[in-house]
């Protein structure tokens, strides 16, 4: 399967989308069409699996998908019949895990948190086993480097489930990131998209970026009376890791900027 004109659609595409969803590479199976969003998810899976990255689901990619599902304790046939938008997955087929619950309290902030989790899942990607990131930091799940206990991730740690990874991500956002972002003067005036863009930014670059060393330009923009128009340009500037620009960070900053400017997910063709 691949992106074609006219688009491939039907049950096989839905099964593929649900498999990618179970593995943390996709979030939606509501449109059973092999379009650019599905191709992007396939490419991410191929990259992580060490396959040729072409966005085409041939025999090798198909076999790798089945193997990845089985490695998580999931039956590929059962996954194909389980809608993405009904439940997530854990280590056991008999233990469906609900999608993240909304943050209690401020409904606008709650929406921003849920939107930011979509960005985290999109750009961090789910990795069940510990690995070293682009700058050599031990990481697991959806970009987690420190567990809720305060202990740093080690390459010797055991793998975790997708549900546990989402728990870690939500904990970090709610307990470590939000308390810092609420100190930003216009925070409560921001719409959910603007809040989500900053949460994603903080998840990637550090919860204390506001007012922190090396973040003077975006801090000044957030303190400016013209913050709504000033911040997007500053978000785009932070795409370096180890002193070098990274394509993945450039794409992430562009998407965060678009989320800020659109008040939510930008349209993807």
Residue-level pLDDT at 9: 72
Residue-level pLDDT at 165: 93
Residue-level pLDDT at 266: 64
The CA-CA-CA angle for residues 204, 230, 111, to 5°, reads 50
Residue-level pLDDT at 216: 96
Residue-level pLDDT at 264: 77
Structure tokens belonging to residue 41: 């998810």
Region of 153 on the Ramachandran plot (φ > 0 left; ψ -120 to 50 alpha; else beta): beta
pLDDT at 40 exceeding the cut of 80:
no
Give CA–CA dist 176/180, Å, rounded. Answer: 7
Arithmetic mean of pLDDT, 245-262: 93
pLDDT at 179 exceeding the cut of 50:
yes
Residue-level pLDDT at 243: 84
Residue-level pLDDT at 21: 83
Residue-level pLDDT at 30: 53
pLDDT at 83 exceeding the cut of 80:
no
Residues 132/138/142/147 CA torsion (nearest 10 deg)? 170
Contact 22, 79 (CB under 8 A): yes
Express each pLDDT in 102-120 by its tens digit.
444 467 898 899 999 989 9
Contact 231, 260 (CB under 8 A): yes
Residue-level pLDDT at 184: 97
Structure tokens belonging to residue 166: 């989402």
Please indicate whether residue 22 or residue 27 has the higher confidence score (pLDDT): 22
For residue 6, is the peptide bond before it cis, meaning its omega torsion is within 30 degrees of 0? yes
Give CA–CA dist 102/1, Å, rounded. Answer: 35
* Phi then psi dihedrals of residue 57, to 5 deg: -95, 90
Give CA–CA dist 224/222, Å, rounded. Answer: 5
Residue-level pLDDT at 169: 95
Minimum mean pLDDT range among 100-109, 126-135, 257-266: 100-109
Give CA–CA dist 159/91, Å, rounded. Answer: 10
Arithmetic mean of pLDDT, 185-204: 96
State pTM to two decimals.
Answer: 0.62
Express each pLDDT in 132-155 by its tens digit.
987 899 999 999 999 998 999 999
Closest to 204 (Cα-Cα) out of 152, 245, 155, 169: 169
What are the DSSP calls for 15-39, one per residue? Answer: HHHHHHHHTTS----SS-B--HHHH
Arithmetic mean of pLDDT, 61-90: 70
Residue-level pLDDT at 93: 30
Q: Could you tell me the domains of the chain?
A: 11-80 (1.10.101), 107-262 (1.10.530.40)
Closest to 14 (Cα-Cα) out of 5, 4, 35, 24: 35
Express each pLDDT in 203-238 by its tens digit.
999 999 999 999 999 999 999 999 999 999 999 999
* Phi then psi dihedrals of residue 59, to 5 deg: -55, -40
């Amino acid at each position: 399967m691949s992106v074609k004109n006219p688009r491939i659609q039907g049950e096989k595409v839905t099964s593929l989308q649900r498999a990618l969803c179970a593995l943390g590479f996709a979030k939606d199976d509501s449109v059973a069409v092999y379009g650019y969003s599905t191709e992007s998810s396939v490419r991410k899976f191929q990259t992580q699996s060490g396959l040729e990255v072409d966005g085409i689901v041939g025999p090798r990619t198909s076999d790798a998908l089945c193997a990845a599902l089985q490695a998580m304790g999931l039956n590929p046939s059962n996954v194909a019949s389980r809608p993405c938008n009904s439940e997530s997955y854990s280590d056991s087929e008999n233990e469906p895990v609900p999608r993240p619950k909304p943050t209690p309290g401020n409904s606008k902030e709650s929406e921003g948190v849920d939107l930011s989790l979509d960005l985290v899942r999109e750009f961090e990607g789910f990795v069940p086993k510990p690995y070293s990131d682009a700058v050599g930091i031990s990481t697991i799940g959806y970009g987690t480097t420190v567990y809720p206990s305060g202990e740093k991730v080690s390459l010797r740690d055991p793998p975790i489930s997708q549900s546990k990874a989402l728990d870690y991500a939500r904990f970090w956002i709610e307990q470590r990131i939000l308390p810092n972002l609420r100190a930003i003067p216009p925070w409560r005036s921001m719409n959910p998209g603007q809040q989500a863009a900053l949460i994603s930014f903080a998840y990637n670059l550090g919860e204390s970026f506001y007012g922190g060393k090396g973040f003077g330009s975006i801090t000044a923009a957030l303190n400016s009376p013209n913050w709504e128009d000033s911040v997007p340009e500053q978000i785009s500037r932070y795409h370096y890791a180890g002193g070098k620009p990274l394509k993945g960070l450039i794409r992430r900053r562009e998407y965060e900027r678009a989320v800020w400017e659109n008040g939510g997910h930008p349209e993807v063709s």
